[in-house]
Chains A and B, each alone.
Chain A
């Protein structure tokens, strides 16, 4: 008899869990951004450490600035959902020469959740960059989704 309130509470919990209206609330992000982190290459590639650039400026070509002279160790931005290619301008320091990153990818509408709806996920095909400040580029994960993955690592020697 003493367990009856507990059993009722458990049943109510189960009822609420079972009857949850998934379409009412969006509990996930719809942003599917590509992530890039920065690493300093010391001792000819034997030691790679995360590094923070003091004045990072980032924008898509002919578009508004996303990041303007901010200290960053990584950047996140979205690929053009209307086209299969886009170009970004990346200046890591006020004294450094800016580099350009070109992305080629395929786009897929992805159903995130009943409450959130659809977002554009992409699969990277090719990444091309200039090597003014960047020493090398490594592609970690081709899938650009909403899970905040760092898809690319940029290596620098200074």
Chain B
């Protein structure tokens, strides 16, 4: 009983030791070193080596057939053991009935050696294992193992992406008094950083019989950066999940051609007007959005924005209804949403660095 247990434990321990050794071997032999050996044997060397191999194999198969004709099973076994591939299986089969199958064996061996030659020709290095291991050890000694496995780098499209904010046209339905046109552009500055610029024009016209008539128009520009948070699954992927910050600047001129104020107690009906006034405004935008490549270099994207006014040069007694690019002229902060169709002009390539551990 004790002997059985001891044997079982020994078997488990030996199996574990073999598995651990195999794992250690797998871990310690790095891919670049393997590549280097293959590279050394490739091209002209590989062809020469394959030609040599085929010659030696043919010669060896001829020898084998001669031995089979004249010698016993033992000598046949010894010869076949020296053969590199496939021969062992064949020779074992042959060993069962060597004398009766001598003629057949010769043919089979020829065929198998030919097959081996075909296999060896394209890529395999069929030098003897001892020689190969010597080569490997020499290569390992000559080139020390790299301390860190190199990260992969690929080239991705970079260029100018020009787009139109089509949500401004939809806005005309909700806010019929304003007309906006907005053009966006961004340029890839780095792996994840994009420089963004936006410019637009606004016209506002509102008129009622009882309160006031207003007309205004102006232009604006924003400039800032976007950071792409998306982890790319493919090297060609250009979708973006981005957050960014912008500085906005607008100049608008507006006038109130007439306004009416009434007071029932004093029976007053007052009319007046404000002449054309030009003002400037500055603000900061916090942007978050998504941009998807719907067709080759054609992007669709939406974004939400929080705009915070820094300075509004308008007089508090009659501010503009709309500040181009910002929105309401009577508010200090404003939420906005954009939907952009854009096209990228690929002008250059950007190096994208992907660490080996998968973190981008």
Binding site for B on A (CB under 8 A): 11, 14-15, 17-23, 30, 60, 63-64, 66, 77-78, 80-82, 108-111, 113-114, 116-121
| Chain A residues near B23 (CB-CB < 8 A) | none
Given A14-B335, A117-B260, A109-B321 contact (CB < 8 Å):
no
Q: Whose C-beta in chain B lies nearest to the C-beta of A118?
A: B259
Question: Which residues of the partner chain A approach B272 to less than 8 Å between Cβ atoms?
Answer: 109, 118
- CB-CB nearest 6 A-B residue pairs: A117-B211, A19-B174, A111-B318, A118-B259, A81-B268, A18-B336
Size class of the B contact interface (CB-based, 8 Å): 20 to 34
- Ordered by A's residue number, 17 sampled pairs between the chains whose C-beta atoms are within 8 Å are A11-B337, A14-B337, A20-B174, A20-B175, A21-B176, A22-B321, A23-B177, A30-B261, A60-B265, A63-B265, A63-B266, A78-B266, A80-B268, A109-B261, A110-B317, A117-B260, A118-B259
In contact, A81 and B211 (Cβ under 8 angstroms): no
B259 and A81 within 8 A (CB): no
A121 touches B317 (CB 8 A): yes
Quick check: B270 and A114 within 8 Å, CB to CB? no
A81 to B263, CA, bound (A): 8
Q: Which of B208, B317, B321, B337 contacts A18 (CB 8 A)?
A: B337
CA distance A117 to B334 in the complex (A): 21
| Known contacts A14-B335, A18-B337, A117-B260; is-contact A111 B317 (Cβ 8 Å) | yes
A11, B211: Cα distance in complex, Å: 34
Q: Mark B290-315, 1 if CB is under 8 A from A, else 0.
A: 00000000000010100000000000
**B330 CB-CB contact with A under 8 Å:** yes
How many whole Å from A7's CB to the nearest CB in chain B? 11
Determine whether the beta carbon of A21 is less than 8 Å from that of B261: no
Q: Is B206 an interface residue (CB 8 A)?
A: yes
Residue contact A18 to B335, C-beta cutoff 8 Å: yes
Q: Say whether A120 contacts B263, CB under 8 Å.
A: yes
Q: Is there a chain A Cβ closer than 8 Å to B201's Cβ?
A: no
Q: Could you say which of B260, B268, B302, B335 contacts A17, with CB atoms under 8 Å apart?
A: B335
Given A118-B261, A120-B263, 20 other A-B residues pairs in contact with their CB atoms under 8 A:
A11-B304, A15-B337, A18-B335, A18-B336, A20-B174, A23-B175, A23-B321, A63-B265, A63-B266, A64-B265, A66-B265, A81-B261, A82-B266, A109-B317, A109-B318, A110-B318, A114-B321, A117-B211, A118-B259, A119-B261
Q: What residues on A are CB-neighbors of B177 within 8 Å?
A: 21, 23
Q: What residues of chain A lie closer than 8 Å to B265, measured between beta carbons? A: 60, 63-64, 66, 77-78
Whether B343 is near chain A, meaning CB under 8 Å from some CB there, is: no
Select B175's contact among A21, A110, A120, beta carbons within 8 Å. Answer: A21
Distance of B111 from chain A, by nearest CB (Å)? 59
Q: How far is the CB of B263 from chain A (nearest CB, A)?
A: 5
Smallest distance from the beta carbon of A133 to chain B beta carbons, Å?
Answer: 24
- B260, B268, B335: the one contacting A82 at CB < 8 Å is B268
A66 to B263, CA, bound (A): 14
CA distance A148 to B137 in the complex (A): 93
Q: Which of A18, A77, A114, A119 contacts B330 (CB 8 A)?
A: A114
